[in-house]
């Protein structure tokens, strides 16, 4: 079957003048039968590590013929591909070599082959590996001729360690009072290679994020080897402390945290020692929890444990016999 090939962007490959071994074409690429070299520069090649053995095989697929566009009045003609030759490779890092299969780096028309970068890199960095190929075709009128050399460029990253060692731990401070938005999150680094960069989910770019409202925040840390670690922190909403609360009224404060999957706390104040009833109903009105609480004057709290309620939405009601307060509570699955 005829395969169309654009000569000016044909292959991504490399050459070796010193032949050490032979590579093996990727069977999946050969079966697909698409002309070119795979993986392509867009798909990219593997990252290397200083002091760690490296190997990257590129598979070449050469079609039998191609189409050439010649000046008018000739137009488009069909040409037979005699060969594709890898004539040069530059930019490989120290410690790596390249070799071909076939060993002369000449791939005949309607054939497959490969080229391999292999060795142990010795110096970290970002390397631009330039591969030069020449396609020789046999076409009517023009006869056997070489197309202009084509440079195909890969980027090869070589890192300074044999693996990512970066890890992190997260600490936080909660909001002090409702609406203050003064929570903080701090990430501490272990391992990795400097310099480190930080990106919080709210856009902050330092190791400590400040001015955080209640909620969940994620931070991604990237080191000099482009290794990453991700951490998450939950900032709890502020509660009104006893010094801020009048003891002369019965008052119930919002459920905290809400939503929650690990239990929640309900705070309330009473002007005197008194008995307070607590009920929890689901959304269809069924009574789930009923408690009598003997409260003290001032701030009191009741805790609903993680195992008390299944995931869902509930109505929490507290009453001191004269006053009643109702709050909505959400129990999440995770």
> What's the gap between Cα 221 and its chain centre?
11
Residue 151: what pLDDT? 87
Quote the pLDDT of residue 196: 92
pTM metric for this prediction? 0.45
pLDDT (tens digit per residue) in 293-332: 888 888 888 888 767 788 888 888 989 888 888 888 888 8
pLDDT at position 239:
59
What are the structural domains of the chain?
7-159 (2.60.40.10), 167-235 (2.60.40), 242-331 (2.60.40.3080)
Give the neighbor-by-neighbor strand order of the sheet with 183-190.
Answer: 167-173, 183-190, 208-212
DSSP state of 29: H
User: In this predicted structure, what is the pLDDT of residue 146?
Assistant: 82
How far apart are the C-alpha atoms of 219 and 231, rounded to whole Å?
5
pLDDT score recorded for residue 69: 63
Structure tokens at 286: 């069924």
Judge whether 175 and 237 are in contact, CB under 8 Å: yes
Please give the pLDDT value at position 155.
92
The DSSP-derived string for 120-166 is ---S-EEEEEEEEEEEEEEETTTEEEEPPPEEEEEEEEEESSSS---
Rg of the chain over all Cα atoms, to the nearest angstrom: 35
What is the rounded distance in angstroms from the CA atom of residue 43 to the CA atom of residue 47?
A: 12
The answer to whether the beta carbons of residues 161 and 52 sit under 8 Å apart is no
Instruction: Answer whether 302's CB lies under 8 Å from 293's CB.
Output: yes
Predicted pLDDT at 220: 94
pLDDT in the model for residue 36 = 87
**Diameter over CA atoms, the chain:** 108
Q: What pLDDT is attached to residue 20?
A: 46
Q: Are 91 and 41 in contact (CB under 8 A)?
A: no
Mean pLDDT split into 10-residue runs, the chain, 334 residues? 37 38 86 88 87 90 76 67 89 93 92 92 89 83 78 86 76 84 91 89 94 91 85 78 49 80 83 88 86 87 81 87 85 75
- 326, two tokens: 């109702």
Question: What is the predicted pLDDT for the residue at 243?
Answer: 40
Task: Kindly report the length of the chain.
Answer: 334
Helix, coil or strand: residue 242: helix
Using the Cα atoms of residue 203, residue 205, residue 211 and residue 212 in order, give the sign of their dihedral.
positive
Q: Give exposure, 188-202, as e/b (b: 16+ Cβ within 10 Å).
A: ebeebbeebebbbee
């Amino acid at each position: 079957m005829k395969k169309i090939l654009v000569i000016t962007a044909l292959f991504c490959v490399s050459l070796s003048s010193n032949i050490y071994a032979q590579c093996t074409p990727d069977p999946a690429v050969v079966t697909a039968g698409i002309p070119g070299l795979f993986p392509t520069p867009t798909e990219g090649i593997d990252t290397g590590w200083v002091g760690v053995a490296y190997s990257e095989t590129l598979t070449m697929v050469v079609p039998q013929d191609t189409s050439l566009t010649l000046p008018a009045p000739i137009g488009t003609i069909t040409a037979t591909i005699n060969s594709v030759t890898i004539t040069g490779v530059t930019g490989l890092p120290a410690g790596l070599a390249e070799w071909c299969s076939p060993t002369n780096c000449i791939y005949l028309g309607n054939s497959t082959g490969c080229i391999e970068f292999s060795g142990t890199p010795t110096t970290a960095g970002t390397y631009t590996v330039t591969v030069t190929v020449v396609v020789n075709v046999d076409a009517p009128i023009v006869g056997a001729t070489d197309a202009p050399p084509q440079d195909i460029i890969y980027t090869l990253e070589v890192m300074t360690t044999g693996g990512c060692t970066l890890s992190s731990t997260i600490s936080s401070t909660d909001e002090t009072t409702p609406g203050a938005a003064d929570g903080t999150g701090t990430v501490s680094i272990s391992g990795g290679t400097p310099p480190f960069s930080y990106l919080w989910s709210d856009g902050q770019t330092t190791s400590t994020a400040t001015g955080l409202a209640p909620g969940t925040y994620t931070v991604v840390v990237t080191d000099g080897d482009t290794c990453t670690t991700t951490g998450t922190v939950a900032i709890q909403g502020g509660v009104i402390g006893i010094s801020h609360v009048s003891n002369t009224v019965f008052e119930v404060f919002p459920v905290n945290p809400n939503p929650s999957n690990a239990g929640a706390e309900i705070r309330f104040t009473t002007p005197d020692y008194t008995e307070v009833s607590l009920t929890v109903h689901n959304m269809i009105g069924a009574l789930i929890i009923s408690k009598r609480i003997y409260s003290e004057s001032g701030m009191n709290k009741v805790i609903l444990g993680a195992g008390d309620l299944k995931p869902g939405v509930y109505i929490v009601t507290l009453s001191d016999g004269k006053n009643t307060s109702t709050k909505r509570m959400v129990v999440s699955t995770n």
